[in-house]
Structures are given as C-alpha cells and as structure tokens.
C-alpha cells in the first residue's frame, strides 16, 4: 500500500525498496505449481464469511513428467498431491505432525491431460480424540477454454503424532457454514462405516456359496490369475520421506498404483484406466533405508472391469527379519476403446486355495461397492423413496438413513411458521421438497427420551395417525425394521401401511444429539396388500439434545414426499394444529413413562 501511494503521488521509489517488493511478490511460486494455506489469507473484497482455518488449496500444472504415455495425469501422481494437501490441512488443525491412517474409496470421474491445472481443496471435517477426517475435493481447469470439471472427492483419516509414548488430544472443530455443519455431522457416520467395513464383507462371504463358480462369457479368452502377478521392490530414499522421516504416504500409494497398473495390463494386453480405489489402510510406518516390496495380482475380471489386489510390505537391510505389512488396497480398472467405451475383458482363472478366496472376495466387494454407490452416492432426487433391503447393503442403508436426517438438521434456512406455548413449528422449502421441524423442551433426560421414541411399537400411544407397529427384523443393536399400520386414509380411501427402517445413534461427542432416523425400505416378506395403500417416507426422525440432566430439546423432522405436499397445500390451516396436538401428546407420553423406564433400567 505504501508503494502504491508513493507511485500515485509521483514520489521517487528507492531502488532497494522496489527490489525488495518485487522479490517478495515473486517469492515462492514455482512456474508449475501453487499451493496456499487459506487459513491466514485475508478475504477477498465482498467475500461472505470467514473461511475454515484448516482449509488448504493447492493448484498444480500438469507437466509431461506427471503423465503417462497417453499424456494423461497418472493416478499415482494425483494421489501424491491429494495426500500432501490433506496432510497440510490436518497439521494446521493439530498443530503437530500427522500421519495418514487411511484413505476412503475414491471414484475417478475424468482423466486430466497435460497442460491442464489440478485444483485440490482440503479441510478438516471433524476432529475426534487423536484422529480427524479430512475432506478433499479435486477438480481440473482448462486454461485455454476456462472449463472446470470435478475429478473426485475423497475422505482421509489422519492421526496426530506427539512425542514418543504420548497421545495428542485434538481440539474440537467448530463448523461455521451449512456445508461444514453437514460434513461435521456425517463424519461420525462415515467413521462408523469404516469400522464395520470388514465385518460387512465377512457377513456377505458367510452367506455366499463356498464353491467358486467361474463366470462364463462367449468369445472371451481365459487368463490364469498367476500370469498377472507382479512383485517389485523400492528402496526408500530421503526424497521419498516426509518431514518426519517416515515414507510419504502419497509415495506409497503411487508405488502401489504403479504395480496394480502393470498387473491389469498383463491381463488385457492394453493400457488400463483406473476407475476406483477401495480404501488405502496404513497399518504401520516405514522409514528411509527400508525396502518396500509391492505385490499385485488380478483377483477377478468381470465383463467390463477388473479388480486388482495390491499390498506393500517393508523390511530393513536384514533379509532374515520378517516383512512388515504396511498397506493394502483394491483397485478397479477398465480398458477403453477409441470411443471411450469399456471393452470386454478376458476371464480370470484363480489358483486353488488363496486364489479362489480372493476371487470370491472380489465378487463380494463388487456387490458391496455397487450397493454403496447406489445408496450413498446418488442425489436425493435420483434415489427412489423405498430402496430394497438386503443384508449386503444394510450398513450403507443405515448410513444413508442417518446421514439424510443429519443433513436436514444442518440446513440453515428454517423459518418459524408457528409457535404455540412450548411447541415451535419450522418449515424449509427446497427444490421440490417441503420439510417440517417441530420442537419443544421436555422435562426428561435426553437418554430417556431417546429410548422411548426409538421404539416404534409404542408410537401409537401418542400419535393418533399410528394404529400399530410390528417389529419385523432386529437387524442389530442400532437398526430395526418395522411394519407400520396407519389410520390415515389414502386417495383410494384405504388405510396406509409402511415398511420402515429405524436407525438409532447415540452422541459421538459432546454437543451431538441422540438420533432416531426413519426411511422406507422394501422387503420380499412384506409386499403391498390389497387392503392397504403402501405409503413411503423419504426422510424423517427425531433429534434429542440434552439441555440439562433433567431437560432435553426434542425435535421431529419430516421431509415431505410429493403426495404429502399435495395434502399440505389443501390443509394449511389445520396442519399446524395437528402437529401441535400430536407433539403435546408426545410430551405427555414421555413424562408419563420416564419413571417406568428408570425402574426397568434399575432392575436390569
């Protein structure tokens, strides 16, 4: 500013000051890349709100040295940049060194060509005890056309590293914007899903046939899986290490992607394209001087895609020392023709024993991956109201059920529509959906209210719209499926029934609510019947926040379906009165039964 003022007032600028300013402007920016930690930047004029202090942005110009033979950015190089940006964000929040613990599934939507710019944005979504989730968004920019396009979205878990023998207690993260509040809330669900991922696979394998049946395809060649096996060794040198002296996580992922690509090429005798990565899981560190053995093999080949299993093991200079398992992942490749369409792939014949196990597990992972992508990744308007219930997708249906409610809770544009004594009614108009929130303070502990409201078999005691609710399946401790009969008449003048998945969640940390989420599912054992009209609920449920030891705020949310919106438009006057009356009955039910609940818990 002083320099500009001197220039405007025609004051001669000393040469040493001018040189200092110019050198400062040229600074640390290289011609090929630019990364900035936005936490310490001033907002641009007119910018709205403060940025997340953990947010890190990185921009990289794709040079020929970053690309493969097709002139496209290699996935390994992109993984390095993603891990670097995520680590910078994690360390900014922790204030100490951090290491990569895992990287969730990544789906690559497009390739990036030489000369284009990769833009990476990373920020901490939520901090737990000593670990934190970092959300990463990757897009590319074409400098000539100005086009921007999304590449992938990823979630990485980092662990803070204190002095040897000590644990770092991370400070909580306070989300500010609506988007940050949503990510902060759902991060607990993603963490839960990571922890049960292995159990989901084991459960699916236990229910699948033991005998390995090879897929048959007309006109397809057959390749023994052993012919795709790759083993390569890398010596960890100082350029491969991070600032803590450990092997850089992004470098390990890049090496793993390299051997996986070679294995995929040996199956199809072509240059494959990486489409997805299923969770990198770092089991331990390696240091400069270690030898990393990287192994890859095609586990299974489907019609248009193949799964490659890859692992990394480390050992020191002494070969006699047993190798340490460092990392493992599963990568999905396709081979594209000249028009960009996936080619039909050869079939794989697994080796007896371990090969057959990997073959079966690859088929199970594909089913889980498709179920998860269908349930989790689809936009709200693209997901049918009722989704099929299956044991293989129970984790992701539960995740989607709770996440949809938490997303609705975090919305910022709720409008107070009516207030009657203790009850407040809010509405939210968004796209084609109209949502309601009814809340009140109740003299009951949050845990007691949570226990009473999560059992749909007792809802008819306070909700006049419910006739009865039958427990169809107790999926696990947190999820149950009910068949609900309602007194509400449909347009066909018949009562309605529902098949509802109820998912419960206790608070993950201080400040979180108790959650009971509802959504419709379909069950073969409970098809629609002639005497009822099958109703559907898209997203509804309760959130209970403790206000004190004996008081809690109870809120009910309902995202109205198109049929319900038609009812609302013709019953605007009576609707709020009905809501208030129902919620007042809910309060009486909670107060009446809290003492009985305490007595039952004491008996247990």
What proportion of the chain, given as a percentage, has pLDDT over 90?
A: 52
User: Taking the CA of residue 8 as centre, how many other CA atoms within 13 Å lie in the half-sphere pointing to its CB?
Assistant: 5
In terms of pLDDT, which residue wins out, 365 or 514?
514
Are the C-beta atoms of residues 130 and 170 closer than 8 Å to each other?
Answer: yes
What is the sign of the dihedral through the CA atoms of 405, 409, 412 and 414? positive
Is the same domain home to 534 and 517? yes
Q: What is the structure's pLDDT at 31? A: 37
Q: Whole-angstrom Cα distance, residue 239 to residue 68?
A: 21
What's the token pair of residue 422? 């203790």
Residues 539 and 564 placed together within one structural domain of the fold: yes
Q: Which range marks the domain in which residue 289 is found?
A: 220-380
| CATH assignment at residue 164 | 3.10.129.10
Residue burial 270-305, b: 16+ Cβ < 10 Å; e: rest: eebbbbbbbbbbbeebbeeebbbbbbbbbbbbbeeb
Domain contains 48: no
Cα 81 from Cα 84, distance rounded (Å)? 5
Which is nearest to 477 in space by CA: 499, 506, 448?
A: 506
- Determine, yes or no, domain membership for 33: no
Q: Is there a domain that residue 423 lies in? A: yes
134 falls within a domain: yes
Same structural domain for residues 528 and 595? yes
255 with 400, same domain: the answer is no
DSSP conformation class of 422: T
Under a CB-based contact definition with an 8 Å cutoff, are residues 54 and 123 in contact?
A: yes
Residue 17 lies in a domain: no
Confidence of residue 202 (pLDDT cuts 50, 70, 90): confident
Mean pLDDT of 278-295: 90
Helices 354-372 and 394-410: crossing angle in degrees, nearest 10, is 30
pLDDT tens-digit series, residues 406-436: 999 999 889 998 888 889 999 898 777 788 8
- 376 and 402: one domain? no
The tally of domains found in the chain comes to 3
Say if 266 falls within a structural domain: yes
Supply the pLDDT for residue 4. 33
- For residue 347, being part of any structural domain is answered with yes
Q: Are residues 318 and 343 in the same domain?
A: yes
Rounded Cα distance, 555 and 431, in Å: 23
> Can you give the pTM of this predicted structure?
0.80
| Averaged pLDDT, 373-381 | 50
Beta bridge partners of 439: 424, 555
Q: Are residues 237 and 297 in the same domain?
A: yes
Residue 201's Cβ-count burial label (10 Å; 0-12, 13-18, 19+) is middle
Whether 296 and 259 have beta carbons less than 8 Å apart is answered as: yes
Contacts of 174 (CB under 8 A, 6+ apart): none
pLDDT tens track for 537-589: 888 999 999 999 899 999 999 987 555 544 444 444 445 677 788 888 999 99
Q: Pick the last residue of a domain from 330, 359, 380.
A: 380
Same-domain status, 372 and 390: no
pLDDT at 5 over 50: no
């Amino acid at each position: 500013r002083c320099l500009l003022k001197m220039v405007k007032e025609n004051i001669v600028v000393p040469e040493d000051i001018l040189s200092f300013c110019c050198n400062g402007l040229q600074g640390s920016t290289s011609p090929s890349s630019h990364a900035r930690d936005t936490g310490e930047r001033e907002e641009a004029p007119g910018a709205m709100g403060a940025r997340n202090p953990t947010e890190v942005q990185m921009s990289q110009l794709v040079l020929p040295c970053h690309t493969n033979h097709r002139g496209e950015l290699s996935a390994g190089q992109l993984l390095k940049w993603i891990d670097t940006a995520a680590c910078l964000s994690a360390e900014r929040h922790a204030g100490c060194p951090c290491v990569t613990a895992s990287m969730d599934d990544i789906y690559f939507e497009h390739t990036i060509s030489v000369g284009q710019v990769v833009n990476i944005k990373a920020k901490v979504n939520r901090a737990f005890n000593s670990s934190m989730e970092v959300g990463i968004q990757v897009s590319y920019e074409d400098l000539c056309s100005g086009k921007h396009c999304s590449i992938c979205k990823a979630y990485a878990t980092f662990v803070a590293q204190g002095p040897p023998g000590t644990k770092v207690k991370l400070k909580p993260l306070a989300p500010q914007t609506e988007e940050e509040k949503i990510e902060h809330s759902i991060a607990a669900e993603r963490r839960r899903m990571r922890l049960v991922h292995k159990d989901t696979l084991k459960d699916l394998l236990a229910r699948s046939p033991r005998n390995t049946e090879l897929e048959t395809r007309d006109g397809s060649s057959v390749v023994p899986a052993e012919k795709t096996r790759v083993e390569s060794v890398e010596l960890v040198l100082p350029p491969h290490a991070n600032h803590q002296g450990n092997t850089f996580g992004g470098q390990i992922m890049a090496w793993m992607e390299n051997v996986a690509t070679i294995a995929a090429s040996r199956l199809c005798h072509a240059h494959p394209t990486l489409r997805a990565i299923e969770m990198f899981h770092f089991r331990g560190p390696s240091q400069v001087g270690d030898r990393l053995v990287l192994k890859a093999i095609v586990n299974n080949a489907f019609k248009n895609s193949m799964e490659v299993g890859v692992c990394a093991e480390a050992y020191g200079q002494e070969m006699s020392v047993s190798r340490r398992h460092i990392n493992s992942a599963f990568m999905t490749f396709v081979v594209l023709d000249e028009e960009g369409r996936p080619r039909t792939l050869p079939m794989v014949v697994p080796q007896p024993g371990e090969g057959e196990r990997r073959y079966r597990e690859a088929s199970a992972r594909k089913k889980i991956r498709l179920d998860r992508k269908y349930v989790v990744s689809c936009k709200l308007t693209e997901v049918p109201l009722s989704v099929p219930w299956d044991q293989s997708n129970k984790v992701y249906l539960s995740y989607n059920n709770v996440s949809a409610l938490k997303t609705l809770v975090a919305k910022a544009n709720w409008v107070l529509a009516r207030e009657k004594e203790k009850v407040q009614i809010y509405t939210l108009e968004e796209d084609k959906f109209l949502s309601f929130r009814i809340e009140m303070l109740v003299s009951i502990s949050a845990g007691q209210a949570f226990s009473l409201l999560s059992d749909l078999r007792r809802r008819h005691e306070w909700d006049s719209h419910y006739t009865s609710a039958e427990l169809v399946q107790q999926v696990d401790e947190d999820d149950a499926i009910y068949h609900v009969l309602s007194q509400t008449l449909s347009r066909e003048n018949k009562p309605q029934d529902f098949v509802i998945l109820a998912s419960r969640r206790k608070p993950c940390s201080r400040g979180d609510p108790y959650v009971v989420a509802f959504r419709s599912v379909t069950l073969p054992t409970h098809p629609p019947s002639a005497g009822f009209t099958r109703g559907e609920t898209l997203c509804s449920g309760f959130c209970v926040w403790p206000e004190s030891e004996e008081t809690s705020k109870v809120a009910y949310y309902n995202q109205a379906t198109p049929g319900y919106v038609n009812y609302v438009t013709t019953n605007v006057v009576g609707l709020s009165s009905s809501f208030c009356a129902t919620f007042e009955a809910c309060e009486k039910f909670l107060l009446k039964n809290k003492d009985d609940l305490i007595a039952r818990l004491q008996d247990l």
